[in-house]
């Protein structure tokens, strides 16, 4: 069951992408009698057999709770769970004891909001949030602002979907205590220069939270070198199971934060006259975690590493270039976001066609795209649109699938009149 360190489809500088694609059982199915063209990986990624097998193997052969039992299964489960933490830490180039395992980015950011921000912020403080954030990196800050009296300031974007960096840096005035910014936009694909942004924030003593949900699955990451204070990610977009994710922060930052959720696993000793909490990261991991999910995430990290994140990024850039070129040829099609550094996500609209209607017709052709507001209402408000369609690509997609999307758009358009 061990995943090889180099995938057999990778040799020298060459990757046999057709062979990689064959690792994903679901991609072989049909939808409405047509081959599935799955272009919704920004929403959730498909899983390779190695991940599905790892989860299956855990339940068949090792299932037990972690950190509690001394019996063989208990230690196997604990070892496998902690091995996943180490794998993910290596993948991100951080220390395992600085990685809090949690259900995903939403939980990770709420942990920062409730455990770091809530006890520290007060009336007169400000939180800067970028216009292109997912709701998971907006709403927790609004909740903190409501309870502390802090205010929210919005870091605006240019029409091409890049952050207005000059305006952002000008906004980083002394009352700003926290800056929340995404590494990669889930709607526009914009890759933000998070290292530079965090450096500017740090100079001013501002704590930074980076949402890495759309970065971790698609590019080599060196979280330690970004210079942020918190980095959040979600496992289900990076070939892992749903309900897995992580929050990275320096050990001293985690040590200085109170627990967020109380219960078992997060304590050293419980007495009615006072409880001694476990050390970080465990003090943030109350209750039974998604053990099988994290074992799957460990396998996902091994799997992605066996292909190589640089290969994955390069592959997805060729798909993005091809899709951008072909979609741009379609009359009346508008693409939202043309950042100079962009991940393989294309949000678009067709003049006269409602995005949900278009997505429904594309689905009948087997093409799965997301339509709607992509959990980013303020961003769509900036562009003055109610919804877009979004095609998001992963390394397992093919150039033929890009062509299938284009053909399906032409056909749907005829039907929409
Ligand atoms: N941030 C971004 C940029 C995302 O794309 C998503 C998932 N759509 C999230 C946060 C939330 O992730 P999760 O629901 O897995 O917590």
Q: For 128-159, write each residue's pLDDT tens digit.
A: 999 999 999 999 999 999 999 999 999 999 99
Name the least confident of 52-61, 99-108, 255-264: 255-264
Task: Note the pLDDT of residue 68.
Answer: 74
Residues 258, 327, single domain; the answer is no
Position 131 in a domain: yes
Chain-wide mean pLDDT for the chain? 97
Task: Note the pLDDT of residue 124.
Answer: 98
Position 402 in a domain: yes
Residues 169, 117, single domain; the answer is yes
Task: Note the pLDDT of residue 109.
Answer: 98
Residues 317, 278, single domain; the answer is no
Q: Characterise 186 by phi-psi region: left (phi > 0), alpha (psi -120 to 50), beta (else).
A: alpha
Position 27 in a domain: yes
CB of 213 closer than 6 angstroms to any ligand 1 atom:
yes
Q: Which domain holds residue 152?
A: 54-305
Position 113 in a domain: yes
The tokens describing 60, both together, are 């068949």
Residues 133, 219, single domain; the answer is yes
Which of residues 247, 273, 305 is at a domain's end?
A: 305
Name the least confident of 82-86, 249-253, 268-272, 344-348: 268-272
- Rounded CA-CA distance 197/312 in Å is 25
Mean pLDDT of 343-348: 98
Indicate which CATH number applies to the domain containing 268.
3.40.640.10
CB of 373 closer than 6 angstroms to any ligand 1 atom:
no
CB of 218 closer than 6 angstroms to any ligand 1 atom:
no
CB of 186 closer than 6 angstroms to any ligand 1 atom:
yes
Residues 281, 341, single domain; the answer is no
The CA 184 to ligand 1 mean position distance, Å, reads: 11
pTM (predicted TM-score):
0.98
**Percent residues over pLDDT 90 in the chain:** 96
Mean pLDDT of 10-32: 96
Residues 210, 257, single domain; the answer is yes
Position 1 in a domain: no
| Distant-in-sequence, close-in-space partners of 268: CB < 8 Å, separation ≥ 6 | 276, 277, 278
Mean pLDDT of 397-408: 98
Q: Characterise 109 by phi-psi region: left (phi > 0), alpha (psi -120 to 50), beta (else).
A: alpha
Residues 269, 322, single domain; the answer is no
- Rounded CA-CA distance 386/373 in Å is 7
Position 7 in a domain: no
Residues 239, 134, single domain; the answer is yes
Residues 173, 242, single domain; the answer is yes
Residue to mutate (ligand 1; options 105, 236, 297; most atoms within 8 A of CB): 105
Residues 184, 267, single domain; the answer is yes
Mean pLDDT of 379-385: 96
Which of residues 305, 336, 359 is at a domain's end?
A: 305
Residue showing tokens 């809530």: 118
Residue to mutate (ligand 1; options 210, 234, 236, 345; most atoms within 8 A of CB): 234
Mean pLDDT of 175-192: 98
Mean pLDDT of 345-358: 96
Residues 183, 200, single domain; the answer is yes
Taking 90 as the threshold, does the pLDDT of residue 324 lie above it? yes
Position 47 in a domain: no
- Ligand 1 atom 5 nearest Cα: 186
Taking 90 as the threshold, does the pLDDT of residue 288 lie above it? yes
Taking 90 as the threshold, does the pLDDT of residue 1 lie above it? no
Position 5 in a domain: no
| Distant-in-sequence, close-in-space partners of 55: CB < 8 Å, separation ≥ 6 | 241, 292, 293, 295, 296, 299
Mean pLDDT of 104-128: 98
Indicate which CATH number applies to the domain containing 18.
3.90.1150.10
**Residues noted as catalytic:** 375
- Ligand 1 atom 4 nearest Cα: 213
Which of residues 305, 329, 359 is at a domain's end?
A: 305
Residues 136, 224, single domain; the answer is yes
- Long-range contacts of residues 259-264, Cβ cutoff 8 Å, at least 24 apart: 259/115, 259/283, 259/284, 259/286, 260/110, 260/111, 260/114, 260/115, 260/284, 261/286, 261/287, 262/286, 263/287, 264/68, 264/288
Question: How many domains does the chain divide into?
Answer: 2
The CA 136 to ligand 1 mean position distance, Å, reads: 6
């Amino acid at each position: 069951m061990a995943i090889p360190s180099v995938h057999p489809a990778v040799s020298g500088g060459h990757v046999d992408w057709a062979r990689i694609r064959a690792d994903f059982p679901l991609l072989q199915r049909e939808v409405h009698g047509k081959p599935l063209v799955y272009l919704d990986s920004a929403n959730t990624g498909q899983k390779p057999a190695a991940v599905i097998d790892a989860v299956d193997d855990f339940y068949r052969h090792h299932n037990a709770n972690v950190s509690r039992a001394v019996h063989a299964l208990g230690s196997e489960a604990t070892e496998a769970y902690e091995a996943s933490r180490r794998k993910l830490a290596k993948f991100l180039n951080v220390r395992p004891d600085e990685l809090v395992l949690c259900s995903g980015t939403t939980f990770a950011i709420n942990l920062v909001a409730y455990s770091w921000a809530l006890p520290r912020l007060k009336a007169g403080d400000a939180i800067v949030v970028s216009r292109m954030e997912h709701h998971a990196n907006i709403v927790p800050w609004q909740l903190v602002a409501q309870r502390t009296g802090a205010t929210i300031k919005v870091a605006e974007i240019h029409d091409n979907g890049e952050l207005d960096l000059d305006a952002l840096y000008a906004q980083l005035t002394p009352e700003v205590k926290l800056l929340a910014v995404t590494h990669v936009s889930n709607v526009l694909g914009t890759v933000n220069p998070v290292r530079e942004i965090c450096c500017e924030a740090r100079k001013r003593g501002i704590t930074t939270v980076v949402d890495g949900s759309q970065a971790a699955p698609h590019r080599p990451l060196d979280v330690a070198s970004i210079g942020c204070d918190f980095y959040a990610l979600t496992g289900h977009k990076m070939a892992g199971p749903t309900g897995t994710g992580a929050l990275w922060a320096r050990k001293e930052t985690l040590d200085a934060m109170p627990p967020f959720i109380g219960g078992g696993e997060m304590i050293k000793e419980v007495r009615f006259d006072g409880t001694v909490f476990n050390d970080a990261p465990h003090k943030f991991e109350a209750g039974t975690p998604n053990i099988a999910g994290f074992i799957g995430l460990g396998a996902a990290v091994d799997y992605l590493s066996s292909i190589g994140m640089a290969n994955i990024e390069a592959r997805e850039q060729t798909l993005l270039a091809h899709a951008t070129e072909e979609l741009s040829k379609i009359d009346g099609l508008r693409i939202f976001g043309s950042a100079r550094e962009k991940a393989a996500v294309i949000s678009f609209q067709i003049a006269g066609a409602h995005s949900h209607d278009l997505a429904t017709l594309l689905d009948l052709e087997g093409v799965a795209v997301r339509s709607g507001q992509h959990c980013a209402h303020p961003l769509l408000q900036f562009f003055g649109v109610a919804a877009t369609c979004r095609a998001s690509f992963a390394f397992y997609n093919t150039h033929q699938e890009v062509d299938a999307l284009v053909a399906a758009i032409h056909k749907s358009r005829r039907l929409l009149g």
